[in-house]
Structure 1
Amino acid sequence: MLISAVEAFAMTDEGQGSVAATSGLARRLCALALLAASGGLLASACASNESSLFIRMRMAPTEDCTVACGPGEEFMTEDSVDAAFNLSHSATLLVGNQIVQRGDSDVLRTETSRVQLYEAEVRVADLAGNPVTEGYVVPITGLVDPGTGDDPGYNCTQVLLIDGATMDSLGRRSAELGRRDIEVVATVVVRGRTLGGQEVETAEWSYPVRVCFDCSPCVTHPENCCTGSTEKVCQELDEIERTCSGRRGPIDCRDLGTTCEDYKARRL
């Protein structure tokens, strides 16, 4: 009876896809434990609950391109990237933790509900849902405290929304279409582990990104200045205001280490 029940459970869990691979395995192991053990003591530890951990938003950089992390800070609803000058694209995401606090100093019980983030799974698709490239898993970091009362705990983590291969593919397509924007959606699942050893993951979170090729102004100074000359004339050149990640703006050839045209030619 135990074997047939486990087989039936495995059959119903097929077709989950790579995004749910980790949680699917956990559910199978939990099913075995629950079938073999009496009572429901293991149920809470094995439950798959995508509301415990969640992605709230993409944080907006400040004027100096740093990020303030918190639910009351500025956020962005769309990114724009020029593939001619960006090898890949990352964004800072705000992650919330709704697991209740369990620590109690009165009885010397440590807090086990903090979540250590360790990886994100990303898929990039066009607006019709067709995959642009295969999905990928990237390491991340961050420790998210449990909430207090009805308020979740929050922390930020940086996630690679568009990897190098995907950026190259989108950039070539934009160049073929005369620098037209290519609109895609990056779908992210963030995974973590509580200090008590419980695996948790977020529901899928989707975010739009516009990718173009050579749609940003690039300022080429005298070539020797672009390649790092320390001559006085190069040092006296006006500084160009830097553009933060996720926004398009002027590019300075001094940041590229070569002229704008040479750099773009290497990207195609």
Structure 2
Amino acid sequence: MNASRGLATRLCALALLTASGGLLASACADNESSLFVRMRMARSGDCTVSCSPGEAFWTEDAIDAAYVGSHSATILVGNQIVERGDSDVLRTETSRVQLYEAEVRVSDMEGNAVNEGYVVPINGVVDPGTSSDAGYNCTEVLLLDGATMDSLRVQAAELRRDVEVVTTMVLRGRTLGGQEVETAEWSYPVRVCFGCSRCVDTIPPICCSDSSSEDCKDQEDVEGSCPGARGIQDCRNLGQTCAEHIAEFGL
């Protein structure tokens, strides 16, 4: 009788261990679906962003490495963890996710590594989902750091054409209840050129570096582009003529 009871106890313990292992495996599997990247948000005419899945988005960035030293993008992040708070029993909401870091690597179109990857801090709180709808918020992610941009600038100058790369990111966060969550890998293409944008010098050119001159006070502003899109460059933002700026790279 005691032997039978001991066997039953051991079998129950094994069953519980197996079940708990399954639950743990399920939790790990669900980890990448709880938090996810939805899209790269577009910037409107005044370069502002609205953080909603119904707003405009971009499917590719195009930048001129002659005028930027690194490149970031506004990423929309979704949270599918359901609400846990209940005011009737004074239970606080623990399913909000505080974003804290992004792991980014860059590769060429054939999948070859362009850099060794890097981890950068991010911020933002993503509210929990309600029913079948996820909660959303934006965060700014460094797609190309300075070292990567330096490398791509040289390549683009030597090839005299766009260099196409893919940035792949994993975003990490922590719920207010202390649970670690991360997104699945999400990839986004970026095209990098060198000196392909139109750059405008003032007339007279001295106004590029000294806009306080009497001859420069009626100069019209040049409308630039938002980060992630190529556009016209104003020499006054460079502090020198366009040719002088490009020549400084020695490429």
TM-score higher than 0.5? yes
Paired AA for residue 211 in structure 2: S
**Is 1:183 equivalent to 2:198 in the alignment?**
no
Paired-residue identity, %: 66
In structure 2, C-alpha distance between the alignment counterparts of 1:251 and 1:239, rounded to whole Å: 10
Please give the TM-score of this superposition, normalised by the length of structure 2. 0.87
Q: For 1:111, give the aligned amino acid.
A: E
- The TM-score normalised by the length of structure 1 is 0.82
CA distance in 2: counterparts of 1:168 and 1:219, whole angstroms: 24
Deviations 1:22-57 (Å, cap 9, x if unpaired)? xxxxxxxxxxxxx9x967399469922200000000
- The one-letter code matched in structure 2 to 1:247 is A
Q: Map 1:53-64; keep pairs closer than 5 Å.
A: 53-64=35-46
Contact 1:85 1:264 in 2 (8 A): no
Aligned to 1:21: none
Tell me what 2:182 maps to.
201
Alignment pair present for 1:264 and 2:222: no
Partners of 2:119 and 2:192 in 1: how far apart? 21
Report whether the alignment pairs 1:160 with 2:145: no
User: CA, structure 1 residues 109+231, in 2 after alignment: closer, same or farther (shift >3 Å)?
Assistant: same
Tell which deviates more after alignment, 233-242 or 218-227: 218-227
Q: What is the aligned partner in structure 1 of residue 20 from structure 2? A: 40
Q: Which stretch has the larger CA shift, 228-237 or 39-48?
A: 39-48
How do 1:63-212 and structure 2 match up within 5 A? Answer: 63-178=45-160, 180-212=161-193
Report the Cα distance in structure 2 between the residues aligned to 1:254 and 1:206, rounded to whole angstroms. 35
Q: Secondary structure at the match of 1:216?
A: coil
State the 1:169 CA deviation: 0.6
Opposite residue 67 of structure 1, the aligned amino acid is V
Q: Is the 8 A contact 1:57 1:94 kept in 2?
A: yes
Q: Deviations over 1:210-245 (max 9, x none)?
A: 000000011122343212431232221111112011
Structure 1 portions without partners, runs of 5+: 1-34
In the aligned structure 2, how far is the partner of 1:164 from the partner of 1:256?
18
CA contact (8 A) 2:211 2:236 kept: no
Shift of 1:134: 1.3
Matched letter for residue 27 of structure 2: A
CA RMSD of aligned residues (A): 2.0
Give structure 1 regions of 4+ aligned residues with deviation exceeding 6 angstroms: none
SS of structure 2 residue aligned to 1:170: helix
The number of residues matched between the two structures is 232
Paired letter, 1:123: R
1:215 to 192, 196, 221: 196
In structure 2, distance between residues paired with 1:108 and 1:42: 31
Match of 2:7 in 1: none
8 Å contact kept, 1:45–1:198: no
Which amino acid in the other structure matches residue 112 of structure 1?
T
Change (3 A) 1:107 1:45: farther
Ranges in structure 2 where 5+ consecutive residues have no aligned partner: 1-13
Which residue of 2 is the match for residue 231 of structure 1?
Answer: 213
